[in-house]
Every structure is written in structure tokens, then in C-alpha cells.
Structure 1
Amino acid sequence: MKRYLVGAVAALALMAGIGASFAGDVVILKPEQQTVVREYIHKQKLASVSLLGVELNVGSALPDTVELHTIDVPDVRYKYTVVGDHAVLVDPDTRRVVQIIE
């Protein structure tokens, strides 16, 4: 029994390390893109949508009813929408929020 517990703890530690290193390597936007994307989104004056029952966090999936808009900035594959008072970048393949823009 003890052997299984040690193995399980080791496996969890390994998976946590892999997840942490992967998360640290993810770059949503380059610093120079951040400013351009923020300015682009603010100029669009897109109407805000209300999502009852959906907590807005990085990783939250947006319903199919939410329209995603293309960002006309070179080398940016994400789309965006405005939820409440926040513009959010969304992965168009998974519809998951990848960044909340203040």
C-alpha cells in the first residue's frame, strides 16, 4: 500500500511540474502586440454582452451565442468580445478566454 502511495505522489508531483512549466511558457500576446490590440479593441466601441451564470475568468468557455470578433492586427490569431466592462481575448477554436484586457 505504501509503495502505491509513494508512486501516486511522485506521479502527481511530476504532472504538476509539467503543468507549471507549460503554463510559464504560454505567451498570449507579445508586449508590443498588447498595446496595439488594446488600442484596436477600444476604438471599436463594441457593445457589451451579459453572461448570466458564467464566471468570467481565464479558461472560462463562452457560449456559442456570444459573437466573437476578429482583431485586425498582424499575427494575432485570437478573437475578442466585450463581457460586462471587460474586453476578453478568446481562442476561436475552443471559445475559452485566454486573456482579460482591462
Structure 2
Amino acid sequence: MKKIVSSAVTALLLLGASSIALAQTVIVTPEQETVVREYVKKKPLASIKLPGVELNVGSTVPETVELQTIDAPDITYRYVVVDNRTVLVDPGTRKIVRVID
């Protein structure tokens, strides 16, 4: 009985950890990416440099960087152009959710 309870607790912990990982995964659909690309073409920004910041999903954009709103339905992210790459950022956490070349 003790072994069954231990196995059940282990399974619940693993399930909880995997759901947390899934909750942190941000999915930008191909349709949303197309909307972003078209929007950025229409309203281009000057590219900036961010020394010391790696352009990876999950990296944090400094508070000093002004994030631009994307005026499109179903897009809650903001963007900035860094090293001529469009970077989608979660405005609440300032974490990069997608880098578009």
C-alpha cells in the first residue's frame, strides 16, 4: 500500500511539473506571425542594439526599451526591432516569446 501511495504522489508531481512547463510555452500561430510581419512592414521601426541581451525565447527585454503595440485582433504581444529582427515580447513579463527574422 505504501508503494502505491508513493507512486501516486510521484505521478502527481510529474504531472504538475509538466503542466507548469506547458503553461510557460507560448505558441504564436503561423497566422499571427503573418499578421505581425505585415504590420511591421507597414509601420517599420528603427533597429536597436541590446548589448548583453541574447535574442532567445525567454530572455528579458530591459525596462528601458520601448515596446510597440501591434494594432491587430488576437495579438496581445508587443514588439521591438533588435539587430534587424522583429522580437515579440510579452508586455507583462517583458520576456521574448518569438524572434522573427
TM-score (norm. length: structure 1): 0.74
Q: Name the CA distance, whole Å, in 2 between partners of 1:21 and 1:59.
A: 12
Tell me how far 1:95 sits from its aligned partner: 0.3
Q: After superposition, what is the alpha-carbon deviation per residue over 1:48-69, rounded to whole angstroms, capped at 9, x for unaligned?
A: 1111111111100000010000
Q: How many residues are aligned here?
A: 92
Matches within 5 A, 1:1-102: 14=14, 18=18, 22=22, 26-102=25-101
Secondary structure (helix, strand or coil) at the match of 1:40 reads helix
Return 5+ residue gaps in structure 1 as ranges: 1-6
Residues 32-90 of structure 1: CA distance to partner in whole angstroms, max 9, x if unpaired? 22211111112211011111111111100000010000001101110000011110100
Pairwise CA RMSD of aligned residues? 2.7
- Code of the residue aligned with 1:61 in structure 2: it is T
Q: Percent identity?
A: 55
Question: How far apart, in 1, do the equivalents of 2:22 and 2:62 lie?
Answer: 26
- Structure 2 CA distance for partners of 1:72 and 1:53, relative to 1, 3 Å: same
Q: 1:32 to 1:18 in 2, by over 3 A?
A: same
**How far off its partner does 1:26 sit?**
4.0
| Structure 2 counterpart of 1:54, one-letter code | V
